[in-house]
Amino acid sequence: MTSVPTAALTTAGLIGGYATARATGNRPLGGAVLAAFGAAAFETWRRRSGVGTAIALTGVYVGAFGLAHPLAKKVGSWPAVLGVTAATAAVAVTVGDRAHD
């Protein structure tokens, strides 16, 4: 079975979490989407590269979520979410996915 690229998981989590919270007005539901995809990415990284790498990449993911908030005040919500998502996906591809193609 081919595994899903972690860049796709982090993208789904960041964009899906924001879109869910915005569409429903339910921030905890958006957080649940963010957490579920983050957990799937963590487990994939852990299996592929070990706990240390999984923790570091999850830190990037969570950091991107945190950075989107102050960035949104400067550039707007969607541009902020898309920007941090692109950066997170790039790190996921480079560190988490590329070595396991």
Q: Look at residue 96 in the predicted model and tell me its pLDDT.
A: 77
Residue 59: which domain range?
A: 6-100
* Tokens (6 digits) for 58: 């999850």
Residue 24 lies in a domain: yes
pTM exceeding the 0.75 threshold for the entire prediction: yes
Residues listed for the chain: 101
pLDDT tens for the chain, 101 residues: list them.
358 899 999 999 999 999 999 999 999 999 999 999 999 999 999 999 999 999 999 999 999 999 999 999 999 999 999 999 999 999 999 997 876 65
Measured distance CA(43)–CA(33) in Å, rounded:
16
Q: How far is CA 27 from CA 18, 22, 33, 71, 101, in A?
A: 8, 8, 10, 18, 35
Residue 1 lies in a domain: no
Residue 61: CB partners within 8 Å, gap ≥ 6?
10, 13, 14, 38, 41, 88
Q: Look at residue 72 in the predicted model and tell me its pLDDT.
A: 97
Residue 17 lies in a domain: yes
Measured distance CA(17)–CA(77) in Å, rounded:
13
Q: Look at residue 88 in the predicted model and tell me its pLDDT.
A: 98
Q: Look at residue 101 in the predicted model and tell me its pLDDT.
A: 56
Residue 11 lies in a domain: yes
Q: Look at residue 1 in the predicted model and tell me its pLDDT.
A: 39
Number of domains forming the structure of the chain: 1
